[in-house]
Structure 1
Amino acid sequence: MRLEAITWDRLGELLAERLLDLRPADGGAWPRVAIDGAPAARPGDLAARVCEALRIRGRTSLVVGTDGFLRPASVRLEHGRQDVESYYSDWYDTGALWREVFGPLDPGGDGRVLPDLWDPVTDRATRSPYVPLPPGSSLLLHGPFLLRHWFPLDLSVHILLSPGALRRRTPGTEQWTLPAFERYAQETDPAVTADVLVRADDPRHPAWSG
């Protein structure tokens, strides 16, 4: 696969332009985008850039991070604070994402999306209000392991870090999560299955193919 050098700002603009003409495959009114990547790859930063580029073009979007849909600590940490299997399979409330984020954007849905559900700092429900998305608005969901859940996506973006870059850019207190990303790469191969691939070993000089 050939990758071309690009800036993050330009990438955000190109993805936004692509979304302007994107029609959901299921006939719904809201394009749904996943920006997938390990925390060290900072997928939320790219989601914010796309959101801003869409705003400038007169199009509404909503950025949702999966870190707002973590399960309660009693579930997340049942097997310890550094259990790789739990991190890979049980930390994120995918059922709530289906129900509160994707369900309202199904054909015939009301477009009212819950932007977050759980605050991991207070370990309490956020009680955030629902956000109404006008037809034509885009959902920009970001976080790790997104392409293993069969979410109804109209565009998927994976930010790839080599094993060495991922190790270097992951804080020492989070190094225990690295085997989960190795497993994700082996089982899901997001670099191949994503519609758009962004390589970001050097965060100053990303490259992409899409």
Structure 2
Amino acid sequence: MAAYPPTPRSQFFEALAAEIEHNYGRGRAIVAVDGAVGTERFADDLALSLRNTGRTVIRARLDDFQLPSEARLQRGPDSAEGYYFDRYDYTALKRVLIEPFRLGGSAGFVTAQFDTQRDAVFETRWVTAPKDALLVISGPFLQRPKLRGVFHFVAFLESSTAILNPVVAEAHELYRAEVQPRVSAGAIVSIREEDHPKREFADRC
């Protein structure tokens, strides 16, 4: 297999994976990648680096746990409140993924529950994992009160607000006002330059 020279991005993920492995080296742990944009690519790269440490890693996306369009769009497609309050099925996320994953053992769990293209529930596919597996979940709003205490480690991504459409930008302002995600995250990461992610620190004053 060809060896590729390290890059600032790959070195960043190696360091973050080493930190998570050091702190959660035994038993199951759940890692959240929270942010308005860029969470899927970030979580994929983090999962790869975690696998390189020898851990089994399960990937899931909050976007695969959305509510049906009737509920999701009840306030209209241009509503920031709807995007924030009505988009995701946190009850299903906890019931079929988070809670059984945390049980460990042979308990099965589901990594994707709702297909937004068909506006229908996916056919249920239960999977299992070893006792020391890690679950990496990506998506927005992962530190909201409904999910408090669920994750062992949260990386909150900061990006340029200029790339967000107005509805998403306003929804994330609602989120920031309610949660203050920079303060409660385990790591704050600037992805304003995607190839050079950088750790930041919350102003707790």
Match of 2:33 in 1: 35
Residue 157 (structure 2) aligns with: 159
In 1, distance between residues paired with 2:123 and 2:9? 33
Cα separation, partners in 2 of 1:23 and 1:206, compared to 1, 3 Å: closer
Gaps of 5+ in 1: 1-5
Structure 1 residue 109 displacement after superposition: 5.9
Distance 1:22 1:30 in 2: 12
Aligned residue pairs: how many?
A: 193
Task: Give the conservation status (yes or no) of the 8 Å contact 1:22–1:31.
Answer: no
Post-superposition shift, 1:31?
Answer: 0.6
1:110 deviates by 3.9
**Pairing 1:62–2:58 present:** yes
Give the Cα–Cα distance (whole angstroms) in 2 for the partners of residues 112 and 8 of structure 1: 34
Q: Give the conservation status (yes or no) of the 8 Å contact 2:73–2:86.
A: no
State how 1:6-155 maps to structure 2 within 5 Å.
7-23=8-24, 29-38=27-36, 40=37, 42-107=38-103, 110-148=106-144, 149-155=147-153
Measured on the aligned residues, the alpha-carbon RMSD in Å equals 2.1
Residues in 1 aligned to 2:17 and 2:196: alpha-carbon distance in whole angstroms? 20
Task: Give the TM-score normalised by structure 1.
Answer: 0.83
1:62-84 CA-partner distances (Å, limit 9, x unpaired):
11100000101111011211221
Consecutive unaligned residues of structure 2, counting only runs of 5 or more, are 1-6
- Quote the sequence identity (%): 27
Checking the alignment, whether the CA contact within 8 Å between 1:115 and 1:128 is kept in structure 2 is no
Hey, what's the Cα distance between the residues in 1 that align with 2:127 and 2:20? 20
Deviations 1:59-118 (A, max 9, x none): 111111000001011110112112211111110000011111111133466442211011
